[in-house]
Amino acid sequence: MERIVFLDSDTLIADLHLPRFAHQWESHPATSPHEVASRLADATIAITNKVALRRETLERLPKLKMIAVAATGTDHVDLAFCKERGIVVSNIRNYSVHTVPEHVFMMLLALRRNLFAFHSDIRGGEWQKARQFCLFTHPVQDLYGSTLGIFGHGAIGKAVAGIARAFGMQVLIAEHKGVSDVRPGYTEFNEVLERSDAITLHLPLNDATRNMIGEAEFQRMKQSVLLINTARGGLVDEKALHHALTSGRIAGAGFDVLSKEPPLEGNPLLEIDLPNFILTPHIAWSGRSAMQTLADQLIDNIESFVAGNPVNRVA
């Protein structure tokens, strides 16, 4: 009989239909690092959204056969160790292809049209004192005719590109950083930085992408550019972003992610109180229909593993 332990069930708001095979189910709203090993001591299947499963913990879990990640990103799981030990790791695919792109364009539209700056002006009485019917205190830019650079062309990146083209935007798909052999349909990394009016990130976090956008990359961007990140906080050097925003090096940014979440010890981006910076608490993925799709796929992954046909494997 399989023993399944969900380490952080409060990260998922959905109707979770339990597996149809014989099993024991144990669910914890949250799990701190020092509790992981004891809670998984007899588990054969672990479910984690963001609870880290590193080598030093996994070495203490000889019964563990599968890790079902309740997310797409797997940077919190030691995949190399899992491959060594034969632990199957499955993740969730394509569940957020509508909700994340909608969040991207919510941010793009708000920043491009200076929504929060105008809202602040009204609260400050500027419109009420105006001598005419409208207020021209901030520039209003359209998405139509502008250029969107997309870094990461998986399911979400493709969905973002489709919406962008519907708005009448030109889309550039960035090639990997440092690659000289550019694939058909892609544009060289630095050229995308230089030509884009807005940039959106849809990449996993790994050694190749960590701090992919830093001071040098900001210097290549237009001063009028907007930077959107709904992927992983570690893709961008946060100190460099803080400087780029507060110095006016870029026009604005919308972030749904930080390098450490929750930001218990603070973060330089939390200090920014500007109408051209939007920070949301890692919720782009959390549309209710998206979370239900995630929950259903999570159980499908587990049932497929137990049936001897693992799907959505990353290890």
Listing from the earlier edge strand, what are the strands of the sheet with 2-6?
A: 23-27, 2-6, 45-48, 66-69, 88-90
Of the candidates 35, 84, 194, 261, the residue annotated as catalytic is 261
Q: Which two tokens stand for residue 208?
A: 């190749």
Angle formed by the axes of helices 155-166 and 99-112, nearest 10°: 40
Answer yes or no: 126 catalytic.
no
Question: 86's torsion region: left (phi>0), alpha (psi -120 to 50) or beta?
Answer: left
Active site includes 261?
yes
85 is catalytic: no
Which residue is catalytic, options 103, 153, 202, 232? 232
Among the listed residues 3, 93, 210, 282, the single catalytic one is: 282
Rounded to 10 deg, the angle between the 115-123 and 99-112 helix axes is: 60
Burial class (CB in 10 A: 0-12, 13-18, 19+), 99: buried
Burial profile 287-296: b = 16 or more Cβ within 10 angstroms, e = fewer: beebbbbbbb
Residues carrying an active site annotation: 232, 261, 282
